[in-house]
Every structure is written in structure tokens, then in C-alpha cells.
Chain A
């Protein structure tokens, strides 16, 4: 937030915000208008900078199992919001719901907008991931 305060003009804030609020410019790799909500089983957590990654097994419409990769904000981002590595690791093997902005290359991957943990807690990754 202090970053927003320090820049000298209003449009400079907006010019730079999208370049500096995250590790990379999200719109380069993900399409915010192409969203998907997945309900699947969490199989893997990669809890490292610059982005945490979740892997989910999700049944597609044909009934076949697909492995999706969901990119989240950094571990520090989650920690500031009182969500820790343990919250995700304890969810491995359990059902998780994530809303993703899909990758522009149409791979089975996306950028996390919201996560609903098995205990019902909803974590929004916006504005960083929007």
C-alpha cells in the first residue's frame, strides 16, 4: 500500500501497479475473461516464491480425470492474510474449490482468483491475481 502512496501522480500509480503488484504481469499469461470453477481433490502443494502452486485432480465433463495446475500469490501474501502452508498441506486428499482465470495457451492451468478450503473458508486472491 505504501507503494501507492509514494508515487507522485495518480496515473503513475495505475501505470505501475499492474507491473509491480505481482511477480509478473498476469494479463500476459492469463485471460481474466475466461474463467473456470473447479471442484477437485488437492494432490500437491508447492509452497514457494514467487508463486504457490496447487495441483488438483478434477473430473472433466466426460468423466475422465484431469490434473490442473493453479497458480496462486506468494507464500508471504497468504501469510499476511493468516493463511499458512499448513492450511493447504492438511487439505491434500480433500475436496477443494478454486476459481481460475485460464491460461491463454489453453493448458490445464490457471491463475487463482478464489479458493474455498475444505473448512469452508474462502480466500480471495484479488487484486493481485485479477
Chain B
């Protein structure tokens, strides 16, 4: 072919193709815009629901535990800090739509609100502390990617002055000394924790002074009124928090004093330095008589008051005179959970035990037992329990203070697998479901990385795990310390909750591929010889999925919780499926609906697909 002809043909092809290419590009852009718009709308609806479920007001208690008043609009409060003169409260309000948290000052007498900060999207304020004369506020915020401590007038006038730049993030600013000269803050990570003091007047090159470093995590340092000591919280290797006091200057001569026997709050000094308050594990407000001269000494802490409710208001701050206590009540009133089993029509089949602080009930593979997470309010500790459904007999499986998430039955019901939060790391352990024997280490991913078990393969050879939006399989062979994960599904979308079919050939999972902020149920093949995905991908749901992905034991039906962005109503969905020779699914239908919200507890289905268990919220009023 002559060159001229080639050029002519090429030119003609380009002319024919160009409009098509342009059209496709425009169509892709429009589709992307539509997807973004749909995601934004979904996010807005979800935020509105979260606001309704979590917004609350501030309440006051006196020293006798009597509620004496309330303050502020119903909103999503973060920290709330009374001014030293008691006339105002500095509050951090969370804005879900703006993805910000900003600082406001509320007048205790009038309720008037003054806005102090306006953060850019995804940036936020934390750790407000008052100057001793109640005229200024110091706080931590991130501006243009740089975290720092800022000071500004509390009346909303004037500008903010940056006094310290933090190279990292999540600096825990917690007090301003009574002489006005110093701030104190803590920083903790996997390497341990450090307490610092920082001169308020020190010029732009002021340096923080390291008071104390430990390989444990430390938080919330607060100056004694004479400035000679710091109280602080230290969390030990067993995840137990205690109130300690030590000198406010670097020294190796003084041992710290442990004041508490378990705390779930920072400590607060009375302005005369004679009392120290904190919240015990059982939610009792504790007071310790203390003295700071000639050295620190204290009496055994006593209960000042304890709220009567089984689900008490959350104590957040104490006035400088020790007469008023700020708290945030539960948004929907005090609630406990009743473990309840439903049939396929949503009718109650059985209520299991008494109401308590329960989460994540799950049927054993033979359907005779339930695995639940139960929080003991006296110890502020959540543990795993096994409940026999026929007798109601309950057995405590774990007895430790580490937070435990993603508990899962092995396919034969012999073991319980779970992720345990330990000093910044999140390894997976297992233990025998009959309570005998010791905990066994199973797997650890990247240091500090969350990994949660979502399934175990029918042949028992693989764990299926969630981790950072990807689905992992972990071969259960060899030395647990050297086990390596396999990336079953790693893409730009957030993929979670991998669940293998009973024949082990297909993996059902949730992905936000098509609907960011929502997610749908998909199925892909699973190759048991490699632990990886094979060819083939099918979409099962069409109107969004929340959680609770399950296969019926015969592999002929799948279940999931549908997603309703505009109400708390819980939708239990089901679809008929086949897995041989290939995967097919019918259009999902609603099996039944329940009133929500159920919060983070996901619900579970018996292997035969006939029983559905949820931890249903019930009012806690009148219970203890």
C-alpha cells in the first residue's frame, strides 16, 4: 500500500473514531459525576441519621450526684471543659457534613454560644484548655497539614497565635498551669508515651520540656494547683488505666504515686489542691484527699457519688471548686440490649437471658450455642461469653481487659477466633469454645494494623480477614509467628466481610465499587489451592448492604442486612442462590424488618437459615 493511501485510511479511521472516543470520555465523566453526587447524597443521609442517633446536651451534677441543670443545644459534643471561674464551658462540636470539629464557648447563665474556630474540611480542633484567669483558650488543631497548639481570646475577639508545632499528630493537650506560665501535654504511640510541659511565653522557638517517658501509654497530664506535680493517666500492658502523680519537672529521684485502683477518666484537681477526682471503672465518681506540701501524699479514694442508672451519663469535666460535674447523657436515653432470636417472619422465638450490655451475638455451627460480647460495667471490661440456648447457661470465655473484636466460631465449633487490641497492636488469637486451655496466638499483620476474622474456610485451611479495605486469606499452616497473608482482593474499592460458600468455591463480600458510601454484595470465585480469587464475579444486591453476610449451610440461600439511609429500620434480606456448576442469584427480597438502631452489633443467622439473632436495644430505666 502506498504511503498516501495509508495516511488517508488512518485519517479516515481517526475521523470515524474521534466522535466515539469523545462521546465515551464525556459519558465516563458524566457517570463519575453522577456517582460522586449519589455518594454525597448518601453521605448526607447517613450523617443525618447518625446525628439523630448520637446528638445530646450537656448536663450538670452536684457533689451528691443530683442532676442540677443542662446546657447547650442538642448536638454532637466532643470535649467539654468548664472555665476556672465557672461561668463558661469550652466545647468541641462535631460537624459530620463538614467533617470538622470546632471550638465554641457556651455561657452557663444564658446559654449563648460564641464560635471560636472554623476548620477546613477534614481538619478539627481538640484538647481545649482554659487560661487560669478564664480569658484565653489554648487548643490543638491541624492547619494545612501541620498540627500545632494555638492560643486565642475566649471572647471570640482577636486572632489565634500558634505557639507550638507538632511534627506528628494527636498531641494530647490537657492543662494550663495555675500561674499561667505553662501548658502540659502528652504524646503516646507504639513506642510508648511522654509527658511534656511547654512555656506559654517563650517566643517562636520555644521547646517542649520532656518530663517523663515510659514504654507505656500516658494521657491527660494535669498540673496540681501549686504547679509542683502532674497527675496523669497511664495504661499498662494489660490495658488497665490508672491515675498517677509525679513531679512536674524532670526528675529521677521521685517515684510516681498511684492514686487510683482503676480509672476510666482523667483526674481533676480542686483549685485548693486538696482533692483529686476521677471516674472509677464502675462509673462511680471518686474523690481522694491529697496534699502537695512538703511532698505529695493522698488518702485512699472514696466514692463521692454514683449514678443510679445501669447506663450512666458520661462524666467529662469537673469545676475548679469541685462542686459541679459535667456529663453527656446517652443520646437515646440509657439502653441495654436484650439478646433476641427471631424467625424468618420477624416473630420473636426466644429472649436469651436478661438485658445487659451485649454485642455481636453469633450462632455456633450446630445452632445450639451463642457467642456474645458482654460488658461488665463494674470492671469496664468487655469479654466473650458462650450461652447454651436450651438451658440459658452462660460461660465466660475470656477474662482480660484487652478490647476484643471480630469474634468468630471455627467451622467445627471447637474454637473461637478474635482480634485483641494490645498496646497498639492487633493480633488474632483463638481459644477453645469450651473454655478449657490457654489462648493461642494465630496471626499478626503489619505492626499496628487492624485485621479482623470474617470467616474460616470449610476445610479449615484458611482464615478470611478484613484489613484496611482489602480481603486477606491466611493459610493456617506452619509456625503462627511466620504466617503470611495472601491478598485475596486488593483494589481501589473498599472490600470487606469475606464469607466463603459452604462448598468453599465462592466468596461473598461487600464492596463500595458501584456505590461509594453504600456498598453492595458481590460474589467471586475462591481457589482453595492458592487462597486467591479466580475468574468470575457476580453482584447479588441492588439497593445497598449494611452487614451480616451469611450463606445458608446447604449453600442455596444467602442473607444480608439491607441499607436504609433514611431510617434506623433494619432490613433482613435473602436471595436464593446456586453454586453449581456456576454461581447464580435471584433478586433479593425482604424477609422481615425490625425497628432500629442496633448500633454496631451486626446480627447473625443460624446455619439452617431459620433463626436470626440480634442484640435489641431496650430501655435501661429502673435497672441497675
List residues of chain A with CB under 8 Å of any chain B CB.
Answer: 1-2, 4-6, 8-12, 14-21, 23-29, 32-33, 35, 47-51, 74-76, 79-81, 84-85, 101, 113-114, 122, 124-127, 130
Q: Which of B107-115, B167-175, B299-307, B559-567 contacts A (4 or more CB under 8 A)?
A: B167-175
Q: Flag if A49 contacts B492 (CB, 8 Å).
A: yes
- Closest-CB distance, B290 to chain A (whole angstroms): 20
10 nearest A-B residue pairs (beta carbon): A25-B448, A50-B468, A124-B145, A130-B169, A23-B468, A49-B469, A24-B449, A11-B219, A127-B169, A27-B189
> Roughly how many angstroms separate A67 CA and B60 CA in the complex, as a whole number?
59
CA separation between A1 and B449, bound complex, in Å? 19
Provide the bound-state CA to CA distance between A66 and B544, in Å: 45
What is the CA–CA distance of A74 and B145 in the complex, to the nearest angstrom? 17
Q: How far is the CB of B335 from chain A (nearest CB, A)?
A: 14
Q: List 11 A-B contacts (CB under 8 A).
A: A9-B265, A11-B172, A11-B219, A11-B266, A14-B188, A18-B188, A19-B448, A28-B424, A49-B469, A49-B493, A127-B169
Closest to A122 in B: B144
CB pair A27 B492 closer than 8 Å? no
Does A19 lie within 8 Å of B424, measured CB to CB?
yes
The CA of A15 and the CA of B233, in the complex, are separated in Å by 11
Report Cα–Cα, A24/B348, bound state, in Å: 42
Q: CB-CB < 8 A to B91: which residues of A?
A: none
Contact present for A8 and B264 (CB under 8 Å): yes
Q: Which residues of A contact B190 (CB under 8 A)?
A: 18, 25, 27-28
Q: Is B225 located at the chain interface by the 8 A CB criterion?
A: no
Contact digits for B169-189, partner A, Cβ 8 Å, 1 yes 0 no = 110100000000000000011
Docked CA distance A74–B316 (Å): 33
> Nearest chain A CB to B278's CB is how many angstroms away?
10
Which residues of A have CB within 8 Å of B188? 14-15, 18
- B298 touches A (CB below 8 Å): no
- Chain A residue with minimal CB distance to B39? A79
Question: Is A18 within 8 A of B189, CB to CB?
Answer: yes
The stretch from B93-101, B365-373, B525-533, B614-622 touching chain A is B93-101
Which of B190, B191, B314 gathers the greatest number of chain A CB atoms within 10 Å?
Answer: B190
Q: Residues 481-501 of chain B: 1 if any A CB is under 8 Å from the residue's CB, otherwise 0?
A: 000000000111111000000
Given A8-B264, A23-B446: A18 and B516 interface contact (C-beta under 8 Å): no
CB 8 Å contact bits of B444-458 with A (1 = contact, 0 = none): 011111100000000
Quick check: B167 and A49 within 8 Å, CB to CB? no
**Residues on B with beta carbons closer than 8 Å to the beta carbon of A25:** 189-190, 424-425, 447-449
Q: What are the residues of chain B within 8 A of A122 when measuring CB–CB?
A: 144-145
Q: How far is the CA of A79 from the CA of B32 in the complex (A)?
A: 12
A47 CA / B265 CA spacing, docked (Å) = 41
Q: Which one of B170, B220, B445, B467 contacts A18 once the chains associate, using CB atoms below 8 Å? A: B170
CB nearest neighbor in B for A4: B78
Q: How far is the CA of A27 from the CA of B166 in the complex (A)?
A: 14
> Using Cβ atoms and an 8 Å threshold, which residues of chain A touch B124?
1
B470: interface (CB < 8 Å) = yes
B191's contact among A5, A27, A113, A125, by CB below 8 Å, is which?
A27
* Given A24-B449, A33-B167, A126-B147, A15-B314 contact (CB < 8 Å): no
- Is the C-beta of B146 less than 8 angstroms from some C-beta in chain A? yes
